[in-house]
Amino acid sequence: MHRLLTTIAIACAATLSLPARAAAPQQTVRIDAAARATPFPHFWEQMFGSGRAALSLREDYRDDLRAVKRVTAFRYVRFHGILDDENGVYGEDEHGEPVYNFTMVDRIYDGLLRNGVRPVVEIGFMPKKLAANPDALHAFWYKPNVSPPKDYDRWDGLMRALAQHLVQRYGIDEVATWYFEVWNEPNIDFWGGVPRQASYFELYDHTARALKSVDARLRVGGPATAAASWVGDFLAHAAKEHVPVDFVSSHGYADDTAENLFHSDAPVPEDDRVCRAIGKVRGEIAASPLPHLPLFWTEWNVPGRDQLRDTTYVGPALANTVRECDGLVDMMSFWTFSDVFEEGGPSPEPFNGQFGLRASGGIDKPSYYDFALLHQLGDERLANRSGDVIVTRRKDGSLAIAAWNLVDPGTHGGPRTLRLAFDHVPADASVTVQRVDDGHGNVLPVYARLGSPRYPTMAQVAQMNAATALPPPAQERLDHGVLTLELEPDALVLVTVAGH
């Protein structure tokens, strides 16, 4: 709890300092290599979201998965639609009796495991023949059914059959490492039950009990809500009804409104909304009858307007989120790792502000390289007061430092000089520097030089990725214990200092 309160205080202090930080042309940050260290698990890069389940069968999806796994600690993937009719999971025979078919489920999960990634099994959406309302279709291009089941005995049977099949195929030791998340964002239009909350709790109760009846080691949780909602009510319900819960999940994006996230019209900067929402939910868990449950933030991203997700803005926004959320959340799932994604239909062009780290066709965006840089941070964090720097130590004793110049959309921040002044390292220690900025890891100028083709050829994709691949780290030395960095707007830099 002490670390939780400290982290919240640091995040609040960072929020208050944002205007001064953006205006400062030069900043000096002292880094004490002997400072107190705390564990720094890489909670931001172990889970990613993706387009619906059936897309995972495609080679371009799997290419992107492998590419992201090469530069991150990618362990889990979450997607919608494992029960959708395109996967043929549930049907009924001529007598109206349930018929199960897990062929496509096997192909989907086999493909993930073959590539070293495990599923977060999001339970949804509703098979048409099991739906109370077969016409309750969501507006997504692939039109999932969001109805409650017509018969909870049949729903329970499907859940037991699915769990039994997975355990039989993969073994309980494997499936016990997965997570089963009940539905997606039931507090908005992804759930057609009436009333929404009470009917979702009924769905959760049946699902959790059915899964646990197969094996108590299966891990189930929720409520997977949009905008950090329902968590307190969900945990109170689960405790009262003795329903199993192994983890809490919710969602929140940087461009969700403060009203939706906090039920207040008090202004909260977009840079701080995700972690502020996570802190709120962590507090609700702590105050609940189940205060020690892990928290998974199973969807988040930076603002989506103005195609920001294709730009260098993602790097400093991501790094700032990592800085603020440290100690508050067990895993965060960036939505998504790939633009193989069809909620609005197939992507019409490579760069239209989609969520992923790789654009359609396997083109590496700046965010891909941003995650690659932050992956190199150590597993211990050293205390420092800066709102623009994360200092870590690796197992070999070297320091890995992320620094950035976050310039919010619509503001007029400029370049900034950052002086890193080190204590307890040799005054001329060797250092390396890598960066993502306008001229490093940024595909948009390269794409423009190619004429912005709507359908890039494979040769053009290869050319873009070759042009943006990060070069070997620049070799430098400290000057009397100081490293001076020039940071463009929305630059992200990784500095390493050799261990001694």
Q: Which residues contact 87 (CB under 8 A, 6 or more apart)?
A: 53, 54, 81, 104, 105, 108
Instruction: Report yes or no: 337 and 69 within 8 Å, Cβ to Cβ.
Output: no
Alpha carbons 365 and 71: distance in angstroms, whole number: 13
- Nearest CA to 44 among 303, 248, 335? 335
Alpha carbons 72 and 40: distance in angstroms, whole number: 15
Structure tokens at 440: 């490093």
Written as one letter, the residue type at 36 is R
Q: How many Cα atoms are found within 13 Å in the side-chain-facing hemisphere of 296?
A: 28
Active-site position among 181, 185, 284, 324: 185
77-95 exposure pattern, b = at least 16 Cβ within 10 A, e = fewer: bbbbbbbbbebebbeeeee
Token pair 């991203």 is found at 301
Q: Is 92 a catalytic residue?
A: no
Alpha carbons 467 and 462: distance in angstroms, whole number: 9
Q: CA distances (Å), 32 to each of 323, 377, 394, 482, 499, in order?
A: 18, 16, 15, 12, 13
Q: Is 185 a catalytic residue?
A: yes
What is the SS3 assignment for 288?
coil
Q: How many Cα atoms are found within 13 Å in the side-chain-facing hemisphere of 245?
A: 30
Instruction: Report yes or no: 402 and 389 within 8 Å, Cβ to Cβ.
Output: yes
DSSP H helical ranges for 287-313: none
Instruction: Report yes or no: 90 and 100 within 8 Å, Cβ to Cβ.
Output: yes
Alpha carbons 225 and 249: distance in angstroms, whole number: 7
Return left, alpha or beta for 35; rule: phi > 0 is left, psi -120 to 50 is alpha, else beta: beta
Alpha carbons 230 and 182: distance in angstroms, whole number: 14
How many other CB atoms are found less than 10 A from the CB of residue 453? 12
Alpha carbons 149 and 203: distance in angstroms, whole number: 8
Q: Which residues contact 146 (CB under 8 A, 6 or more apart)?
A: 125, 126, 136, 137, 138, 189, 190, 191, 192
Instruction: Report yes or no: 390 and 379 within 8 Å, Cβ to Cβ.
Output: no
Active-site position among 181, 284, 299, 324: 299
Return left, alpha or beta for 227; rule: phi > 0 is left, psi -120 to 50 is alpha, else beta: left
Query: Which are the catalytic amino acids?
Result: 185, 299
